[in-house]
Amino acid sequence: MVRFFTWDKPSISFGCNQNPQKRLDLALCRDDGIPVVRRPTGGRELMHGHDICYCVTMPVSSGISGISAKVNFGEVNDVLVLGLKKLGIAAEWSNFAKRPKTTFGPCFAQIDSGEIVVDGRKLVASAQRVYPRSIIQQGSIPLDVPEIELLKYLRLGDKLLVARRTGEMTAYLKDHLDGTTKVASIVDVFREAFEENFGRCSRSVGGVYDDFRKEYFAK
C-alpha cells in the first residue's frame, strides 16, 4: 500500500523511540494548539503542515534480515528518486554506510544514511520499521519553509546553532519546481513512478487534497 497525505494544520510528529517529555515542550504545544503525535517509525522530530508525507507498507516473510530490510528501503528510495526526476529534480539517495553520529537537533538537522538529497541538502526524510510480517516506511518532503518554527517547541541548548544547521541541510520542493505546480500533480507523478515499479495503484475515492489549506505553488 502506498499513501501520500498532507496535514490540515501545523503538527509535530516524533519517532517511536523518542521520549517527548524530554525533547518537547508539551505544555507550549498545547497552549499554541500544536498537535503532537508519535510515528510508528523511528527518527527525530518533524514539523508538518508544509510538507507532503508518504507511507509505504508491504508484507514480508517472518524473520526478515537487516540486509533484506535495507533492500526494501532502497527499492522505495529508487521509486521516489524516479518520481523526483520526472518532476525535473536531479535527486539521489546516499548509499548505506555507517550511521553518522546523531546530532541533538530535529530530523532535518542532519542527513542520515540512505536519505534522499538534492544539491547536498536533504529533500526527503525517511524512516523504516520492521514488524514480524510487514515493513512500514514513512517520509516527509518539505514543500516550503514552515510557517511555524519547530525549534520553538524543542528543549535544546543552542537553538541558533541548530537553526543554522537545519537551514543549511534542508531542501524544499518550491525551489526546484515551477511556481504553478499543484500538490495533487506532484502526487500523481509519484503514483506513476510507483506503478512503473510495483504495479497498478488504485486511486483514492474523493478529493484527498481538496481540503489542503494552502496552495503552496500558486502564491
Helix (H) or strand (E) holding 29: helix 26-32
Does residue 142 sit within a domain? yes
Query: Looking at the predicted structure, is the pLDDT value of residue 126 above 60?
Result: yes
For the chain, percent of residues with pLDDT exceeding 90: 53
Task: Provide the pLDDT for residue 98.
Answer: 57
3-class SS at 198?
Answer: helix
Task: Say whether pLDDT at 202 is over 70.
Answer: no
- Once rounded to an integer, what is the mean pLDDT over residues 90-119? 79
- Taking 3-state DSSP, the helix, strand and coil percentages for the chain, each rounded to the nearest 5, stand at 30, 25, 45
Instruction: Identify whether 127 is part of a domain.
Output: yes
Radius of gyration of the chain (CA): 17
Residue numbers of the domain that contains 126: 2-198
Residue 206 lies in a domain: no
**In this structure, is residue 208 part of a structural domain?**
no
- Identify the CATH number of the domain in which residue 25 sits: 3.30.930.10
- 81 inside domain: yes
Domain count, the chain: 1
Q: Is residue 73 part of a domain?
A: yes
Look at residue 102 and tell me if it is in a domain: yes
- Which amino acid would we find at residue 164? R
106, part of any domain: yes
Residue 71 has pLDDT above 50, yes or no: yes
One-letter amino acid identity for 168?
A: E
- Mean model confidence pLDDT for the chain: 85
